[in-house]
Amino acid sequence: MTNAPQTVFLADYTPPAYLVDQVALTFRLAPTATRVISKVNFRRNPESNGGDLLLDGEGLKTISCTLDGAKATVTHEAGKMRISADQLPADSFLFEAEVEISPATNTALEGLYMSNSMYCTQCEAEGFRKITWYPDRPDVMAPFTVRIESEEKILLSNGNPVASGDGWAEWSDPWPKPAYLFALVAGNLVNHPDQLETMSGKKVELNIWVRPGDEGKCAFGMGALKQSMTWDEEVYGREYDLDIFNIVAVDDFNMGAMENKGLNIFNSSAVLASPETSTDANFERIEAIIAHEYFHNWTGNRITCRDWFQLCLKEGLTVFRDQQFSADMRSAPVRRIDDVSTLRGRQFREDNGPLAHPVRPESFVEINNFYTATIYEKGAEIIGMLKRLVGDDAYAKALNLYFERHDGEAATIEDWLQVFEDSTGRDLSQFKLWYSQAGTPRLTVSESYSDGTYTLNLRQDTPATPGQADKQPLVIPVAVGLLSPEGKELVPTTILEMTETEQSFDFEGLSARPVPSLLRGFSAPVVLIRETSNSERAFLLAHDTDPFNKWEAGRMLAKDVLSRMATEGAEPAPQYLDAMSDMCADEALDPAFRAHCLRLPGQDDLAQTLYDAGVTPDPMAIHSARESLSDALAAKLEPLLASAYDSMISEGEFSPDAVSAGRRAMRQGALSLLSRIDGGERARALFATADNMTEQLGALGALLQISQGSKELASFYQQWRDDRLVMDKWFMMQVSFAAPEATAATAARLVEHADFDWKNPNRVRSVLGALSMNAAGFHYEDGASYQLLADCLIRLDDLNPQITARLSGAFETWRRYDGNRQGQMRDALQRILAKPDLSRDATEMVTRLLGD
């Protein structure tokens, strides 16, 4: 019974009774009958009282099972094998097993499975138990040797290659690791090879392995890998620790990529790149994911997590590190704007709904459901706050201590905070609440000025979240700068450390009432609430020296204008249009930054803001407001946009670097608005001549947005029908740009298309993910999108529970909406829940979504 919901609690953690000294695995690969032979040397854990040996296993056909060579008597219970203590020979013993598994029929893409006739594995979080009997928990770490027997051309596993011959290969990984980092790949692969000399002068062999035909799409990823390796040496002093580093691209993959020791496995969308097939956004994402997985080698692999409740220990820190890397490689302000937009779009949304949970949860049913924006993105923000509070030097010292003290261990959040306490002498007990308290704090600010003293009054409140009614005050670093009425920086960025519910801060000796720039750089993951005027926002958009807050001022201005348009039928405010015109004309500003300022706040962002203000959001009204404001912007800015479109043209060969990409982004922003005026003339011309995917897809989007482009869609299909990653874009664009009333029908037609594939997560996401992101279409009042999504998830659940559960998050905002929509979404969720044999993954998610 995989369905019986068993809850796991952090408070129940106990150390393993037995540790593993060595694992030797042999794989005899065959599509539906792979044999896995394991030899595991166990040793009684001195920190435990011993007891029965408990091993995890799921869906295994056990052929044999012995203890020190003698047949073992075992019992089975809820996914575990129990060997009673009285049979266990001595303090150490050898457990051997042979099992049979069927990778070809494994559509859940967890454990050993096949993708395009290639064998591959995904073991995080609890997939190793689908490969063989083992203590599948991260605090059991061991060196692994692996022998693969197969006729496939390339046979790979973790660590260093030891020996190989006709039809076999052996690998050895000397670094003790938990089972979730195990990996194996076998297939007809070709490589893009390179090498790198590390800081101590060691030569490391680097490979990106792909299907024949994809060799030409590896160079960018390889460059990003080498930059990541060097960056981690320079910034964190961390060197790579094996002779070889392999990356493999796989088409069927549940997430972005996986940091298996020495053998990272990537969703092909997160590694393959070429100018013809990848957009600038793709290049940027690939660079970040390659860095992320590489950085896990130290933050995740050398130091891993004691248990899955500590997931943010590796994920929050590794996201923080990849964000630092991207900021160094590209424009730091633009990266910060993007990271905060992701945080607000995904994590704030999660924190405001039924799925809200702490960065370190206290319980879970299915750990796969906790690879969330809260653990990743808010987890990274917590580290950013810690660094802001202690300063850069103290942060570097604490990190060195962390690596020194915990190398080779499975650590906890307590261990992490302890290194900061020990190296700085700071008491972090209040700061630790960020890990246990869910919900996004609201920071309300008011101010007064008299006799040259300016006072900021701050108040923090964290709304109740499921299971957590009462909240305590947090430590919030509030970065503040003050500007003079003429726009000069009076007080440069200062960190106010807030620790109480209410607190005031004085700034003395001022000659006039200043204009505050609050929460600069988004110094804490909170919602800022302050009565202010649009003229002050326009002032900050023009004068703030903090680039993040400059952008933020424009965003707040746009949100105010759009809210009034959506709820009161107001006209597009001239103040906003004038401010945008000045911003757009400011040649001193980075084009990428200007492109970001031109983008309107998203549909979901507005819906949440209205809901917070006590207004039931109307998705159609928000949609119309965004459309009218875009039309008004286009009309007002036409000459500026036209000249930007003409002048930002790239000359020469395509380069994915940040500056070139920024110019293309500005040009695309201009094109998208101009198409509302020129009837798509420029976009049609660009589509016809574009030699790179950024421009080709941008032109297509500009046309689809004005309900044109059917001819271009057809020619796009003809051109790219054999490229799976580009075809994902073809599917996605149609749903993303469908008119609200046509969205459900478009998605329904696409899931029936001959090129749709229920077993390929990328393809499924390109339609169903896009369906939930097209807010006006998803929430169209006839409820057709809700019903379609429910039907599709019911169908998908038998194939891939992880993706089903993830996509069900589309319903997480259901309580925001009116009675009709709420009722329809609740019905859709209840229909999913009623499906016979619904997976544990989906059961947990839908149950939490429905709440009590």
Query: Is 377 a residue that touches ligand TRP (CB under 6 A)?
Result: no
Q: Nearest distance from residue 229's CB to ligand TRP, in Å?
A: 17
Taking residues 251 to 290 in sequence order and writing x for each that binds ligand TRP by CB under 6 A, - otherwise, the string is: ---xxxxxx-------------------------------
Buried b / exposed e along 29-61 (16+ C-beta atoms within 10 A): bbeeebbbbbebebebeeeeeeebbebbbbebe
Q: Nearest distance from residue 436's CB to Zn ion, in Å?
A: 21
Q: How many angstroms separate the CA atoms of 364 and 369, rounded? A: 8
The smaller minimum CB distance to ligand TRP, of residues 293 and 560, is found at 293
Q: How many angstroms separate the CA atoms of 841 and 84, rounded? A: 31
Hey, what amino acid is at 414? E
Q: Nearest distance from residue 601's CB to ligand TRP, in Å?
A: 28
Query: Is 385 a residue that touches ligand TRP (CB under 6 A)?
Result: no
CB atoms within 10 A of CB 638: 16
The smaller minimum CB distance to ligand TRP, of residues 214 and 293, is found at 293
Q: For residue 653, what is the enclosing H or E element?
A: none
Under DSSP, the state recorded for 475 is P
Total of residues contacting ligand TRP (CB under 6 A): 13
Measured from each CB, the residue nearest to ligand TRP is 255
Look at residue 214 and give the partner it binds from ligand TRP, Zn ion, none, a contact being a CB closer than 5 to 8 Å depending on partner kind: none
Q: How many angstroms separate the CA atoms of 850 and 843, rounded? A: 11
Query: Is 126 a residue that touches ligand TRP (CB under 6 A)?
Result: no
Taking residues 314 to 333 in sequence order and writing x for each that binds Zn ion by CB under 5 A, - otherwise, the string is: -x--x---------------
Active-site hit among 58, 126, 284, 293: 293
The smaller minimum CB distance to Zn ion, of residues 97 and 411, is found at 411
Q: Which of 227, 233, 259 is nearest to 403 (CA)?
A: 233
The smaller minimum CB distance to ligand TRP, of residues 177 and 292, is found at 292
Query: Is 124 a residue that touches ligand TRP (CB under 6 A)?
Result: yes
The smaller minimum CB distance to ligand TRP, of residues 210 and 566, is found at 210
Q: How many angstroms separate the CA atoms of 741 and 472, rounded? A: 45
Look at residue 122 and give the partner it binds from ligand TRP, Zn ion, none, a contact being a CB closer than 5 to 8 Å depending on partner kind: ligand TRP
Looking from the CA of 609 toward its CB, the CA atoms found within 13 Å total 23
Q: Which of 332, 425, 423 is nearest to 384 (CA)?
A: 332
CB atoms within 10 A of CB 514: 20
The smaller minimum CB distance to Zn ion, of residues 368 and 423, is found at 368
Look at residue 168 and give the partner it binds from ligand TRP, Zn ion, none, a contact being a CB closer than 5 to 8 Å depending on partner kind: none
The smaller minimum CB distance to ligand TRP, of residues 288 and 776, is found at 288
Look at residue 717 and give the partner it binds from Zn ion, ligand TRP, none, a contact being a CB closer than 5 to 8 Å depending on partner kind: none
Task: Establish whether 152 is a catalytic residue.
Answer: no
Q: For residue 335, what is the enclosing H or E element?
A: helix 332-342
Residues in the chain: 852
Query: Is 107 a residue that touches ligand TRP (CB under 6 A)?
Result: no
CB atoms within 10 A of CB 291: 25
Q: Nearest distance from residue 771's CB to Zn ion, in Å?
A: 27
CB atoms within 10 A of CB 201: 6
Q: Which residue from 106, 121, 122, 331 is in contact with ligand TRP, where contact means CB under 6 A?
A: 122
The smaller minimum CB distance to Zn ion, of residues 300 and 441, is found at 300
Q: Nearest distance from residue 259's CB to ligand TRP, in Å?
A: 6
Q: List residues bridging with 265 in a β-sheet.
A: 248, 258
Q: Nearest distance from residue 315's CB to Zn ion, in Å?
A: 5
Place of tokens 């959506």: 566
| Beta pairing class for 8-9 and 363-364 | antiparallel
Taking residues 292 to 321 in sequence order and writing x for each that binds ligand TRP by CB under 6 A, - otherwise, the string is: xx---------------------x------
Hey, what amino acid is at 385? M
Q: Which of 442, 448, 440 is nearest to 465 (CA)?
A: 440
Place of tokens 């969308």: 269
Q: How many angstroms separate the CA atoms of 404 and 844, rounded? A: 39
- Catalytic site positions: 293
Q: Which residues bind ligand TRP (CB under 6 A)?
A: 122, 124-125, 254-259, 292-293, 315, 371
Q: Which residues bind Zn ion (CB under 5 A)?
A: 315, 318
